[in-house]
Every structure is written in structure tokens, then in C-alpha cells.
Chain A
Amino acid sequence: MSTTVLGLFTQIENTAEMVRPLEEMSVLHKDISLISVAPYPEGTLFHDEDHSPMWAVALVCGIVGFFAAVVLAGWTQWHININVGGKPTWSVPPMVVICYEFTLAGAVLGTFFSMLWWARLPDWNELAYDREISKSKIGLLVRCENEEKAAKVEELMKQFKASSIKRGRDDF
């Protein structure tokens, strides 16, 4: 049963300096995370690899949208083959317009939902968090496999001037 330690800091430098000792304690990068009210640039703690191929989702959803439009507009024109103003059965301009809109609609929806998926939202569990973070603090999350390690991490956080330390669950 793993437990997560959340330390609240006032200075970002303190959290950054804590990374080295944590590494020495053999805490993996994937078990460390920052909680902040605004984004810190990539590499504030350490360089992380990107695991979310959002472009692929957007592309696939865009393609799905495109073909949905082809099916919708194309099939309609074929199925309801009524002569309107002598236009050909397969009128291209309407297809172009609707395909364009649906492609982008697919891409937008794909991006949005994949963002929620990778950001693990919505999440109604009581996870390690503190309202102070929204006010002015920066939180450092460290996931530990056992109690012993968690105690050590807490000790380390105190050394680095954490204003308060909490325990909680997490699944980041």
C-alpha cells in the first residue's frame, strides 16, 4: 500500500533542490510531482519525457470526423437522390464544407477528451491536496511504497523548509 507525502513550500527553489536527495533515496522521477496554481516550465524539477501523443488522437479523431462527414453528406445525397436545381447527385462543394467542419470538430473533441483522459479528470477521490496551494504555496508530491520511506521523505521536507506536510492518496 503506497502512501503519498505532500509538502507545501513557499519557494520553488526549495522543491527543486529536494530532487537530488530524493533521487539518492532512490525515489523514481515518476513518483515525484509538483502541484501549483500555474504551470511551471518543463524541467523545473527534472526533464520529463512526454507520454501523451495528443497529436495522434487529434489526427485520428479528425480523420474520423472527416469520414463521418463524407458518410453524412455523401450518403444523404445518394440516398435522397432528388433533383434540386439540376445539381449533380454528388455535389462536391457541400461535401467540402461539411468535411472541413467535421474534421475540425473531431479534432477539437478528440483533443479535449484526450486532455481529460491524460490529466486523469474528472477525479472525485480525496487525493493529496491542500487549498493553500491555490493561495500562495507550491506543493511537492512524493509517492512512497512504505511507511518507512514516507517518514524519511517527511524528514527531508522539513529540512528543506516545508511549511506543512500532509499524507494522502494519489494515483498520478
Chain B
Amino acid sequence: MKSFNSNTEYHKWAMVIDLDKCNGCGACTIACQAENNIAVVGEKMAREKRTMSWLRVERYFEGEWPELRVVFLPMPCQQCGKAPCEPVCPVFATYHNPDGLNAMVYNRCMGVRFCANNCPYGVRKFNWFNSKWEAPLEQQLNPDVSIREVGVMEKCTFCMQRIRRGKDKAKDEGRGVKDGEVVSACAQSCPTKAITFGYLDDPESKVAELSKSKRRHRLLEEHGLDPSVIYLKGGA
């Protein structure tokens, strides 16, 4: 399949998250929220687990008090290579784009929510109500990202708008996208640099290098979904 940009020969974006570097600060969640115009739903909805955050930091506890250790697991959409959410959509609202990303067409979605049922990671979010931004908060919305209507699914896009901009710039300059040129909002904001973003099939890229680590693993691999998010854990 041809890529959107013929200057780029790579077509597999990936993210490497080093769990040993993650301190669970949640900056990635906030950055994502700001970058992608994600609705802030308020306390009541949050208590109902209806938060809209595309990236959440999951907390797991190891051991018994007082020998307690908290483990953090940032969970964005895993952008599966064989995404289970895609074939079940009856209207092609979610599909695999040529960048190897699992894209969401908001205007096409009619909200049957089968995709979310078929996602073992539980990263798909649904617009239960229309989202509102009280003045002057609507001034800080990102003009590159559309606001989602009530009744549609949404999820992490690997900052699709940043990828587009990076590829457009590279194309204008007649070259391919350089490693590190496109950075997702979560990776950019991570204070411990736990998140790395780039082309997995570019052998020179940092992501490709990290993905060869012995500490690598991917989540729920028994389903055979070929997720694009690689976690590093154990050691250091």
C-alpha cells in the first residue's frame, strides 16, 4: 500500500515506553488532553469511569503494605497491526491507514460501539454527551484537531496531526521524515523521557534500536494483534 507521502519509505509508526523510567506523574495524559481537544468531563463523570483521556496511566500495586510498590503503565491506543476493532465496524469508521495507524473517522461513526467491545486494552472512548468548553477555555483548543460530536467513538491517534505536519514539511523540503522530527505530545512532555516515538521500520531510528532490547514486551500478545506500542521492563 502506498504511503500518504511518497518521500517516505517507512510506514510503521511505533512507540516505546520504558516502564522503569515512568514515575506515573501523568504529564503525558495532560499533554494528550491539551493536544487533542479531549473533553474534561468533570468529577461526576470521572467517578463513573467515563473520562475521555486517550492515554491513561494505570496503577498496579505489588506486595502488601508496608512493602508496597506501585507500578505505572501508561496505556495509549496500541495501534495494533491487526486491529480487532477495525473489521467489526459496520461502516468503515475505523480502518488501517497507510501509516500503519488505526485511524478513526469521526464523521462516519454512528456509535454502535462494537470496536470498543472488541478492544482488549479498553482504550477506546465514547462521547456520552456533547462536550463543552466554558469561555475562555475554548480559546486553547487545538485548531488541527476536530471536536467530536456526541455519540461517536474516539481514541489515541498517535498525534496524527503532528505526523501530517512533519511529513508535509519533509515533503516540501524534498526529503524523508527524520527520526525525532515527529514527536507525539505524550513523548514530548514526558519528564523522564520514558516515551519514545518514531518509525519502527527505519533501522536508524531510536525506536527501532530500543525495540530490539531484551526488556521488550507487548501487552496481551496472546491475542496476536501485533500492537505498535512496545514496553520495556525489568532491569536497571
Contact check, B87 vs A87: say whether CB atoms are below 8 A apart. Answer: yes
Q: How large is the interface on B (under 10, 10 to 19, 20 to 34, 35 or more residues)?
A: 10 to 19
| Interfacial residues, chain B to chain A (CB-CB below 8 A) | 1, 80-87, 89, 92, 94-96
B129 shortest CB reach to chain A, Å = 29
- The CA-CA distance from A103 to B80 in the complex, in Å, is 36
A87 and chain B: residue at smallest CB distance: B87
Q: Which residues of A contact B83 (CB under 8 A)?
A: 84-86
Contact check, A85 vs B84: say whether CB atoms are below 8 A apart. Answer: yes
Among A82, A84, A87, chain B packs the most CB atoms within 10 A around the CB of A84
Q: How large is the interface on A (under 10, 10 to 19, 20 to 34, 35 or more residues)?
A: under 10
A125 within 8 A of B: no
- The CA-CA distance from A85 to B85 in the complex, in Å, is 7
Q: Which residues of A contact B80 (CB under 8 A)?
A: 85
Contact check, B89 vs A83: say whether CB atoms are below 8 A apart. Answer: no
Q: Which residues of B contact A80 (CB under 8 A)?
A: 92
Q: Which residues of B contact A83 (CB under 8 A)?
A: 1, 86, 95-96
User: What per-residue 1/0 map shows which CB atoms of A84-101 lie under 8 Å from chain B?
Assistant: 111100010000000000
Q: Which residues of B contact A91 (CB under 8 A)?
A: 87
9 A-B pairs with the lowest CB-CB distances in the bound complex, closest first: A84-B86, A83-B96, A85-B86, A86-B82, A85-B87, A84-B87, A82-B95, A85-B83, A87-B87
- The CA-CA distance from A80 to B89 in the complex, in Å, is 14
- The CA-CA distance from A87 to B94 in the complex, in Å, is 14
A91 and chain B: residue at smallest CB distance: B87
